[in-house]
Amino acid sequence: MKPLVLGAVSYLNTKPLVYGLDRRPDLFEVRFDVPAQCAALLHEGRVDLGLIPVVEYLRGTYAIVPGVSIASHGTVASVAVFSRVPIEQARAIAVDVSSRTSVALTRVMCAKRWGIRPEFVHAEPDIRAMLDRADAALVIGDPALAIDPAALGVRKYDLGDEWKALTGLPFVYAVWAGRPGVASGGHCQALREARDRGLANLDAIARLEGRGDAAREDRVRRYLSDNVQYGLGEAERAGLGEFHRLVVEVGVMPALQPLRFYE
């Protein structure tokens, strides 16, 4: 099989999905970027498969590697809006632009759950600077995990929880996707096996990410074990389809695409 160029994401929650892929140069070449850049590389044809924010799936004609995603069944911890006021009173939300799915999910929450139409202000993920410019701030990934809401005097609205309350479904944040036909069954199986290896080695990942800090190591282990899910079964597919439907309904994206899968 020809090695595929993979565009992976450089966040903590992707570590179990890419575990050991560097030892498979016969199958994959891997590069790491933030989610929005990962999607841009796929759209430009500079990677064969990208671990893309799921809203980006609607921007092209793609297929999805079956059985693998980054998802949550409720609390996700790493995707959240931090607000100085009750969220129903927010007039402006500063958004971290490094993940377009999280921005789209925030827009869905505003329209369908919180009943607000705030101004969206693009900003770098510096929570204090963001809250100086807006009533609330969307922060994702590792920066969101590091924020102590009590210390800032703000409320944290976990978007995994908010989605579950709105729909009763899991939320899918990212999937491996690429042009139809580019990935073989063997490539897809290797990506599922990498995921399984990663989940079997969460202690090793936590030790590496903890960098000798026992408290951080414990937080990493609990986050990867308790908050993030890595399957793509019927419930996750239903959640993904509902999100795509809603982003079109609220005007974030112009049209739906059918869910296509390799194999």
Q: What is the CATH number of the domain that holds 89?
A: 3.40.190.10
Q: Could you give the 3-state DSSP secondary structure of residue 88? A: helix
Q: What is the DSSP string of 17-42?
A: GSTTGGG-TTTEEEEEE-HHHHHHHH
- For the segment 237-243, the average pLDDT, to the nearest whole number, is 98
Confidence of residue 20 (pLDDT cuts 50, 70, 90): confident
Whether 263 is in a domain gets the answer: no
Question: Which of 112, 137, 167 is a domain's end point?
Answer: 167
Dihedrals φ, ψ of 164, to 5°? -60, -40
CA torsion sign for 178, 182, 185, 189 is: negative
Summarised one tens digit per residue, pLDDT across range 195-208 is 999 999 999 999 99
Whether 261 is in a domain gets the answer: no
**27 and 145 inside one domain:** no
Question: Which of 121, 152, 167 is a domain's end point?
Answer: 167
Residues 243/72, Cβ–Cβ less than 8 Å: no
Q: At what angle do helices 35-43 and 100-109 cross, to 10 degrees?
A: 110
- Number of structural domains found in the chain: 2
Question: Which of 113, 146, 167 is a domain's end point?
Answer: 167
Would you tell me how many other CB atoms lie within 10 Å of the CB of residue 185?
A: 11
**139 and 89 inside one domain:** yes
Summarised one tens digit per residue, pLDDT across range 59-69 is 999 999 999 99
**149 and 92 inside one domain:** yes
Confidence of residue 263 (pLDDT cuts 50, 70, 90): confident
Per-residue pLDDT at 1: 62
Per-residue pLDDT at 182: 96
